[in-house]
Structure 1
Amino acid sequence: MSRSVHVFRTPDRFVAGTVGQPGDRAFYLQAVHQSRVVSVLLEKQQVQVLAERIGALLDEVARRFGTEVPPAVTSVTDLSPLVMPVDAEFRVGTMGLGWDAEAGSVVVELLAITETELDESVVLADDADDGPDAVRVFLSPLAAREFATRSERVIGAGRPPCPICGNPLDADGHMCVRLNGYRRGVAFGTAQPEQ
Structure 2
Amino acid sequence: MPTRVHEFAWPDRVVVGTIGVPGSRTFYLQVRTGQQLLSIALEKQQSAQLAEKIDEILDQLSTLEGNPFSVPASTPIELVDNDQLETVQEQFRTGAMTLGWDPTTAQVVIEAYPIADVDAEDDGSFEEDGAEVPEMLLVRMPVGTARAFAKRTREVVGAGRPACPLCGYPVDPEGHVCTLPEV
Counting only pairs closer than 5 Å after superposition, residues 85-164 of structure 1 correspond to structure 2 as: 86-115=88-117, 132-164=134-166
Please name the residue that 1:184 is paired with.
Answer: none
Unpaired runs of 5+ in structure 1? Answer: 117-130, 181-195
Letter in structure 2 aligned against 1:98: G
Deviation of 1:174 after TM superposition, in Å, equals: 1.0
- What secondary structure sits across from 2:63 in the alignment? helix
- What secondary structure sits across from 1:177 in the alignment? coil
Please name the residue that 2:44 is paired with.
Answer: 44
Output one character per residue of 1:43-95: Cα deviation in whole Å (capped at 9) or x when no partner: 000000000000001122233575331113386621111111x1111111111
Percentage identity across paired residues of the two chains = 42
Select which of 149, 168, 182 maps to 1:166. 168
- What secondary structure sits across from 1:37 in the alignment? strand
Deviation of 1:115 after TM superposition, in Å, equals: 4.8
Please name the residue that 1:9 is paired with.
Answer: 9
Task: Answer yes or no: is the 8 Å Cα contact 2:62–2:73 preserved in 1.
Answer: no
Output one character per residue of 1:94-152: Cα deviation in whole Å (capped at 9) or x when no partner: 11111100001111111111257xxxxxxxxxxxxxx9421111111010000000001
CA distance in 1, matches of 2:60, 2:181: 42
CA distance in 2, matches of 1:97, 1:64: 20
Please name the residue that 2:85 is paired with.
Answer: 82
CA distance in 1, matches of 2:50, 2:42: 11
- What secondary structure sits across from 2:27 in the alignment? strand
Unpaired runs of 5+ in structure 2? Answer: 119-132
Please name the residue that 2:33 is paired with.
Answer: 33
What's the TM-score once normalised by structure 1's chain length? 0.78
User: Are 2:22 and 1:22 equivalent residues in the alignment?
Assistant: yes
- What secondary structure sits across from 2:180 in the alignment? helix
What's the TM-score once normalised by structure 2's chain length? 0.83
Letter in structure 2 aligned against 1:80: D
Higher relative contact order (CA 8 A, sep 6+): 2
The count of aligned residue pairs is: 166
- What secondary structure sits across from 1:38 in the alignment? strand
Task: Answer yes or no: is the 8 Å Cα contact 2:108–2:143 preserved in 1.
Answer: yes
